[in-house]
Structure 1
Amino acid sequence: MNSPKTANGVRFHEVGGPEVLRVETVEIPAPAPHEVRLHVKAVGINRMDTVIRMGHFPIPPVFPAHLGFEAAGLIESVGSDVTNFKVGDKVNVFPAFMPNDYGTYGDLVVLPAYALQPFPALLSFEQAAAVWATYLVAYGMLVNSAQLQKGQAVLLNAASSSAGLAAIQITNSLGGISVALTTSPAKKAALVAAGAQHVIVTSEEDIAGRVQEITGGKGAEIILDAVGGSQFEKLVAAAAERAQLFAYGMLGAEAGSYPTFQVVMKMLTVKGYNMMDLLSDPVKSAAAVAFIQQGLQAGTLKPVVGHTFPLEKVADAHRFVEANGHVGKVVLSIQ
């Protein structure tokens, strides 16, 4: 019979910087009828985790609070109503729950069975922990909303992030033209190696001018903006007529102006985006899962793990994410 067990789990008792994160010995309950208990092997760290830790998420944390929407591991036990998984199954975590309800930062966690997916054997646990939040956001913008067509140019900033790399892979797999932006000349080679067809180093090149060259004067039909701030106006200048611009992040520290004239004259669509667009719709969500699973199996989609940390270095992992120097997903690896 299932019974509570003790494990190492990350908790925080106040909002703040990475230093508020603590690895504590916690009691992990037996899974309820609809839940499983998971031996975690790897945890994917997302920007949203840092937002929650700092107290900037719309729903305040309930202390002692946990973190995490993504992980991969082996099922340790199952609730009485769970029939689609069994003990020993390798699964990864689909981010389909609220932060105060469940979390993945620990070596043993309880999760709802509906938030689990099997993953291809060709993926490591670390890669499997880097799948869902990354590819769901990219798929939602490019496929579900923008309906990317072959030959269309996709311009994206923060291209070395896990979501940026996922967008490059999806764009390439559908026959689009991936145009990646980076502020760092050092990251250009990494982006080319990751599949970006064109890379613009924004500290050295004019964004709109280079996009015009790449597209034969047309501009980018789809733009993914994870930065905002002062770069927004430059992205609008690089847009084609009737382009779609998706704002899905706020990495920019500088305030930006809204180029109303260009938005109007180019007849642009500007849309805020987050995963709830997919997660709130079972039909959209199922289509996204099928697309991503197929891409993972075929190898056209392959998660990029940029750096790993042990669980006890979770505060350092958050600092690393916030420094914006990485390429790919930052992952906690648990032995």
Structure 2
Amino acid sequence: MARVVRFHRHGGPEVLRIETVDVAPPARGEVQIRARALGLNRAEALLRSGIYIETAVFPSGLGLEAAGIVEAIGHDVSGFAPGDVVSIVPPQSMVRWPAYAELATFPAELVVKHPRELGFEAAAAVWMQYLTAYGALVHIARLGRGDVVAITAASSSVGLAAIPIANRIGAIPVALTRTSAKRQALLDAGAAHIVVSDEEDIRARLEAIAGSNGVRVVLDAVGGPAFEPLTAAMSSGGILIEYGGLSREPTPFPLPNVLTKSLVLRGYLVHEITGDPARLERAKAFILDGLADGTLKPIIARTFRFEDIVEAHRFLESNTQFGKIVVTI
């Protein structure tokens, strides 16, 4: 028996319940962990609300990230043993492999032995944000030394992962944020420049920062009207990678900018990395190296107790956090 978080209908944070259920042992190729910390992601709020790319089957579990201790291993699993300290690469399906639980089971290929000195809370905050940013910037955009990369929603966990990844490569990260409130925190996180989108002309500021070369890469989680000034400031042959859609306003197609600059506008899901074993191994090596040398350090906005999962989701939807929200068990 173990406590799990489930919901029986779509709705706000209040539909989440902590229930005690029987937990099956791990099947062939699976690893079961006793979770000590969970990393929260916007995808979980979308599933709970009924607007995610995956469909909940009631009663539905949820959750994509966890860190803890190996409890048991299934048949045909090698390289792990009970007692190992591990964290979880987000699975393709959180309905099939939900993380919000005292005991959670995952495919062995998604279980990672992270550095013990990282701690459970930080380890639970690693994989979604760094894999998302790595896949977009390194795998797709081929970000290089000296490239200017504009990062919208820069105070989100993925935005805060993209900044040090860009710095590690030698690129120039430009953080876009709506107000000045997080300016200093973004500079402290490694941003080379800040653009305050509600107070400044986005195109003019980006052009002043990038100079004649323009912005080669845009990592965007927002969409909406900012597409026009963002693409206007991009270099010829530049690439805009869209991985979100936070804006509630329509997103115009910036036809003149796309045509005159031969731009690439590309949608992206982290599943492109997690679903490809070779790509995932390269990404894991990059991230583990960064964790080891200190260039990648997860920023945690706030921690909550497992019993306060409803309040944690309310905070998740407030959009006021700076970094990752973590729940401890």
TM-score, normalized by length of structure 1?
A: 0.95
2:64 match: 69
Q: What SS is found at the alignment partner of 2:240? A: strand
1:234 match: 229
Deviations 1:303-328 (Å, cap 9, x if unpaired)? 11111111111121112111111111
Shift of 1:79: 2.0
| Partner of residue 326 from structure 1, selected from 318, 321, 324 | 321
1:3 match: none
Shift of 1:111: 2.1
Structure 1 window deviating more from structure 2 (170-179 vs 238-247): it is 238-247
| Partner of residue 85 from structure 2, selected from 70, 86, 90 | 90
Q: Are positions 1:217 and 2:230 aligned together?
A: no
Question: Which residue type is aligned with residue 324 of structure 1?
Answer: N
Q: Are positions 1:159 and 2:154 aligned together?
A: yes
Shift of 1:256: 2.8
Give the root-mean-square deviation of aligned CA atoms.
Answer: 1.2
| Partner of residue 183 from structure 1, selected from 178, 192, 201 | 178
Shift of 1:133: 1.0
1:103-122 correspondence to structure 2 within 5 Å: 103-122=98-117
Unaligned runs of at least 5 residues, structure 1: 1-5
Deviations 1:83-136 (Å, cap 9, x if unpaired)? 210111000001133122111101222222222001112312111001111111
Aligned-partner Cα distance in 2 for 1:9–1:275: 25
Aligned-partner Cα distance in 2 for 1:309–1:329: 11
Whether contact under 8 Å (1:43, 1:129) holds in the other structure is: yes
Q: What SS is found at the alignment partner of 1:28? A: coil
Aligned-partner Cα distance in 2 for 1:100–1:250: 22
TM-score, normalized by length of structure 2?
A: 0.97
Shift of 1:58: 3.3
1:34 match: 29
Shift of 1:231: 1.6
Whether contact under 8 Å (1:225, 1:232) holds in the other structure is: no
Unaligned runs of at least 5 residues, structure 2: none
1:303-318 correspondence to structure 2 within 5 Å: 303-318=298-313
Structure 1 window deviating more from structure 2 (243-252 vs 78-87): it is 78-87
Shift of 1:167: 0.5
1:202 match: 197
Deviations 1:187-242 (Å, cap 9, x if unpaired)? 11110111111111112211111111112233210001100012222211221121
Shift of 1:11: 0.3
Q: What SS is found at the alignment partner of 2:283? A: helix
Q: What SS is found at the alignment partner of 1:133? A: helix
Whether contact under 8 Å (2:92, 2:274) holds in the other structure is: no
Q: What SS is found at the alignment partner of 2:9? A: coil
Question: Which residue type is aligned with residue 63 of structure 2?
Answer: G
1:288 match: 283
Aligned-partner Cα distance in 2 for 1:111–1:284: 19
- List structure 1 runs of 4+ shifted beyond 3 angstroms: none
Whether contact under 8 Å (1:207, 1:234) holds in the other structure is: yes
Aligned-partner Cα distance in 1 for 2:270–2:315: 24
Deviations 1:39-91 (Å, cap 9, x if unpaired)? 11110111111111111123311111001111000112222332210111000
Deviations 1:138-172 (Å, cap 9, x if unpaired)? 11111111111100000011000110011001000
Q: Are positions 1:78 and 2:73 aligned together?
A: yes
**Identity value in percent:** 46
Q: What SS is found at the alignment partner of 2:116? A: coil
Question: Which residue type is aligned with residue 66 of structure 2?
Answer: A
Question: How many residue pairs were aligned?
Answer: 329
Q: Are positions 1:256 and 2:242 aligned together?
A: no
